[in-house]
A and B are shown apart, each in its own frame.
Chain A
Amino acid sequence: GENVEQHPSTLSVQEGDSAVIKCTYSDSASNYFPWYKQELGKRPQLIIDIRSNVGEKKDQRIAVTLNKTAKHFSLHITETQPEDSAVYFCAASRYSGAGSYQLTFGKGTKLSVIP
């Protein structure tokens, strides 16, 4: 099955600096890579995603890059703000039969933005 590794597990940055979180995956059949932000006790919120036919996608201060050959993808947050503090999860999705796509999550990165 799919295995997703995420690094680092914790990340502290000064407000205004950039933050980068990296993930690798094992299943070359995976073709959809979402990133979720989860605040304490709340639901994971989709913040950006990328599909395997695209190498990079950007949405304001957030960008994601994908290298299918190397099987890794990264989340980039620029001009970080205190409200960016949360746990971020990467995931990889593959077709699992019967019309279903399963997500395999990384272990998460706790991002702390220091004012």
Chain B
Amino acid sequence: GAVVSQHPSWVICKSGTSVKIECRSLDFQATTMFWYRQFPKQSLMLMATSNEGSKATYEQGVEKDKFLINHASLTLSTLTVTSAHPEDSSFYICSARVAGIDNTQYFGPGTRLTVL
């Protein structure tokens, strides 16, 4: 149980284009999903917290107009990187928390984004 999928697993795009990444909880409902960014050999940095049916809460320094988050259902959250630039190239990982009082987070497999 508690499986989280992410799509696509890797994407290469041209500078200026937008990229959408999907995060799904496959066998449980996730009222809260989290989006992280990880640079090579570094830790996971929380970008935003996504709650189903409400606006995402962004961490300080993360541009909400550049990283659009939509959590339309209890099993799906999407992150759209708008007008991507080479500095946006990174490993993006989502996680989901099982609805209820448990605060355990389960991670998706990540999406490797390369912006040319």
List the interface of chain A (C-beta within 8 A of B). Answer: 32, 34, 36, 41-46, 49, 89, 93, 95-96, 98-108
Contacts and interface: CB of A to CB of B under 8 A. Distances in A.
B34 interface: yes
Interface stretch (B11-19, B72-80, B100-108): B100-108
Chain B interface residue number, banded: 20 to 34
Interface stretch (B43-51, B61-69, B81-89): B43-51
A56 B91 CA distance: 33
Contacts of B109: 42-43
B105 to A, nearest CB: 6
Contacts of A105: 43-45
A98 B71 CA distance: 15
B32 interface: yes
Q: Main SS of the interface on chain B?
A: strand
A31 B54 CA distance: 26
Contacts of A95: 103
Nearest to A97: B57
Interface string B10-38: 00000000000000000000011010000
The 3 tightest CB contacts between A and B, nearest first, are A101-B103, A43-B107, A43-B109
A107 B42 CA distance: 7
A31 B92 CA distance: 26
A89 B43 contact: yes
Contacts of A32: 103-104
B107 to A, nearest CB: 4
A98 B43 contact: no
A46 B3 CA distance: 12
A96 B108 CA distance: 22
Contacts of B107: 36, 43-45
B44 A98 contact: no
B113 interface: no
Contacts of B97: 100-101
